[in-house]
Amino acid sequence: MLRTKSSALNLPCRASIASNNSRLARSSRVLSSTATRSGRATLSQQVSTRTLPCNFVHARRYATKLDSPPEAEGDEKEKTDVLLKALLVKLNQESRAPSMDAALTAMAGLAMAFVGGIAYYAWYKKNVLDKIEKAFEGGYDPALELAVHAKKNAESRNFSEAIDELEVEDGPWTKHLRRREQDILDLIIHGKEHGHYFMLLGAKGAGKTTMILDSMQANQAEGVAMCDAHPDLEVFRLRMGKALNYEFNEDTQTGLFQRRDPREGGPGLDIERVMNKLEKVALRRARKTGRPLVLVINNVHYFRNNDDGKNMLLQLQQRAESWAASGIMTLVFTSDDFWPFFTLRQHASRMHTLTIYDLNTEEATTACQRMRRFTTLPTESKSIVEEATSIVGGRLSYLNRIARARNMVDMAKHMLAVEKGWLLSQIGLIRDCDDDVMDEQKWSSCSWLLLQEFVKRREEQLGKAREAIARGEKTEQDLLNLPLPAIPYYQCRQIMTRADFLEELDRINVISIDINHDVRPDSMLILRAAQEVTGEDGFQEALDSVRDRIDEIESLHRTRELTFKDLGKGDKVRLEVDKTGEEEDA
What are the strands, taking DSSP E only, across 122-231? Answer: 197-202, 224-228
Q: Are residues 84 and 131 in the same domain?
A: no
Each residue of 521-548: b (16+ CB within 10 Å) or e? Answer: bbbbbbbbbbbbbbeeeeeeebbebbbe
pTM of the full structure = 0.73
Count of structural domains, the chain? 3
Q: Is residue 10 pLDDT above 50, yes or no?
A: no
Q: Residue 218 is part of which domain span?
A: 127-356
Q: Is residue 305 pLDDT above 60, yes or no?
A: yes
Return the pLDDT at 89. 66
Q: Are residues 164 and 260 in the same domain?
A: yes
Q: Are residues 75 and 140 in the same domain?
A: no
Return the pLDDT at 20. 47
Q: Are residues 270 and 139 in the same domain?
A: yes
What is the CATH number for 257? 3.40.50.300
Distance CA 284, CA 241 (A): 19
Q: What's 257's DSSP letter? A: G
Return the pLDDT at 33. 46
Q: Are residues 87 and 156 in the same domain?
A: no
Tell me whether residue 106 is in a domain: no
pLDDT digits (tens, 9 = 90+) for 190-214: 999 889 999 999 999 888 999 999 9
Chain mean pLDDT for the chain: 80
End-to-end CA distance of the chain: 159
Q: Are residues 204 and 324 in the same domain?
A: yes
- Could you tell me if 501 and 446 are in contact, meaning their C-beta atoms sit under 8 angstroms apart? yes
Tell me whether residue 225 is in a domain: yes
Q: Are residues 163 and 63 in the same domain?
A: no
Q: Are residues 85 and 182 in the same domain?
A: no
Tell me whether residue 580 is in a domain: no
Q: What's 474's DSSP letter? A: S
pLDDT digits (tens, 9 = 90+) for 272-290: 999 999 999 999 999 999 8
CA distances from 236 to 5, 242, 297 (A): 103, 10, 10
Return the percentage of the chain with pLDDT > 70, whole number. Answer: 76
Beta bridge partners of 298: 228
Q: Are residues 232 and 337 in the same domain?
A: yes
Tell me whether residue 523 is in a domain: yes
Q: Is residue 445 pLDDT above 90, yes or no?
A: yes
Return the pLDDT at 54. 43
Binned at pLDDT 50, 70 and 90, residue 261 comes out as low
- Could you tell me if 455 and 568 are in contact, meaning their C-beta atoms sit under 8 angstroms apart? no
